[in-house]
Amino acid sequence: MFRNQYDNDASTWSPQGRIFQIEYAIEAVKQGSAVVGLKSNTHAVLVARSPNELASYQKKIVKIDKHMGVAIAGLTSDARVLGNYLRSEAMRFRMVYDLQIPVGRAMEALGSKAQTNTQVYGGRPYGVGLLVIGKDSKGPHLFEFSPSGMTSEYFAFSIGSRSQTARTYLERNYAQFENMDLKTLIKEGLTALKDTLPQDKQLDAENTSIAFVGVDQDLTIVDGPEVAAYLETIDSTEMELE
């Protein structure tokens, strides 16, 4: 029934020093549609496309606090649990210190919560990956959260299905992001996201979400018709190329 003896639960090491249940949980992230995050010196941006073709689209980007938002790839219900946790941590921080929670702090708390799920029998690791953007006294940030409990900070990153193509694009171009204005940064994000789409799929105003936060700008989530204006920026670049 199992692929090997060591993959039943997260509390067993394999002889190679791996934990298969964590690796499988990371597979669940790859099942989710891709999300892309990137940052400049002044802004951090998330872009995502919802794959759901039915009545309404599943939300891919959610707000945590005035200064923080996350994009999700993987099990949406797990994402909701983690999102609620982040919200309560952010609110607790506001309550206790009269301060927006520093993004790194929020990630540490989240990572430590997820780590417990990987060391104790009877539970399972979270089956969702997150890209988190936010700002604090040290400027804008982009973090990735993985089911292992690992949290890393990036200049630009992508997770989810076919995200490798987006990462390749980002690796080639991230050095220029530093000094970009917000609009160009979003354009770069959408371009990377476009690379992850299945053959017959497009980005459109119904299925695309954008979120951004800046040193002097609260988190803004753009959904629906307003997205069209941003999508035009990548369409026009393509026309130029043609």
Partner 1 sequence: MSSSLLLSKKNSDVTENGTYKHTTSPIVTGTSVLALKYKDGVMMASDCLASYGSLARFRNVRRLQPIGTHTILGASGEISDFQFIQNQFEGLMLKEHVEDGQKLETSSIYRYLSNVMYGRRSKVDPLWNKYIVAGVEPSKNNNIFLGFVDLYGTTYQSSVMATGFGAHIALPIMRKYAEPRADSLTEEEASKILDDCMRVLYYRDARSFNKIQKAKVTAQGVEISEPYSLSTNWDFAESIIGYGS
Partner 2 sequence: MTSVGTGYDLSVSTYSPDGRLFQVEYAGKAVDNSGTTIGIRTKDGVVLAVEKIIPTKLEVPGSNKRIFSIDKHIGFASSGWMPDVKGLVARAREEAWEYQKLYKVPTPSKILAERIGMYIQAYTLYSSVRPFGAMPIMASVDKDGPQLYMFETSGAYYGYRGCATGKAKQLARTELEKLDIDSLSIRDAIKEAARIIYTVHDDSKDKLFELELAWVSQESGNVFSKVPQDIFDEAVQYAKRANDDDSDDDDDL
Residues that bind partner 2 (CB under 8 A): 5-6, 10-19, 108, 111-112, 114-116, 118-122, 148-157, 167, 170-171, 174
- Residue closer to partner 2 (CB basis): 51 or 139: 139
Q: State whether residue 140 is helix, strand or coil.
A: strand
Q: What is residue 122's DSSP assignment?
A: T
**Least distance to partner 1, CB of residue 184, Å:** 29
Can you name the residues that pair with 221 across neighbouring β-strands? 211
Q: Is 98 in the site for partner 1 (CB under 8 A)?
A: yes
Residues 6+ apart with CB under 8 A from 233: 183, 186, 187, 190
Q: Which does 102 bind (CB under 5 to 8 A by kind): partner 2, partner 1, none?
A: partner 1
Strands of 68-74's sheet, edge to edge? 61-65, 68-74, 128-136, 139-145
- Residue closer to partner 2 (CB basis): 39 or 60: 39
Can you name the residues that pair with 142 across neighbouring β-strands? 133
Applying CB under 8 A, which part among 26-34, 48-56, 100-108, 110-118 lies near partner 1? Answer: 100-108
Q: Which does 154 bind (CB under 5 to 8 A by kind): partner 1, partner 2, none?
A: partner 2
Which tokens go with 25? 């949980």
Q: Is 216 in the site for partner 1 (CB under 8 A)?
A: no
Q: Is 96 in the site for partner 1 (CB under 8 A)?
A: yes
What is the C-alpha separation between 118 and 183, in angstroms, rounded? 40
Position among 95, 175, 239, 241 found at the interface with partner 1 (CB under 8 A): 95
What is the C-alpha separation between 170 and 172, in angstroms, rounded? 5
**Least distance to partner 2, CB of residue 170, Å:** 6
Can you name the residues that pair with 68 across neighbouring β-strands? 65, 134
Q: Which does 207 bind (CB under 5 to 8 A by kind): partner 1, partner 2, none?
A: none
Q: Is 134 in the site for partner 1 (CB under 8 A)?
A: no
Q: Is 181 exposed, middle or buried (0-12, 13-18, 19+ CB in 10 A)?
A: exposed
Amino acid identity for residue 75 in this structure: L
Q: Is 137 in the site for partner 1 (CB under 8 A)?
A: yes
What is the C-alpha separation between 112 and 79, in angstroms, rounded? 16
**Least distance to partner 1, CB of residue 126, Å:** 23
**Least distance to partner 1, CB of residue 139, Å:** 12
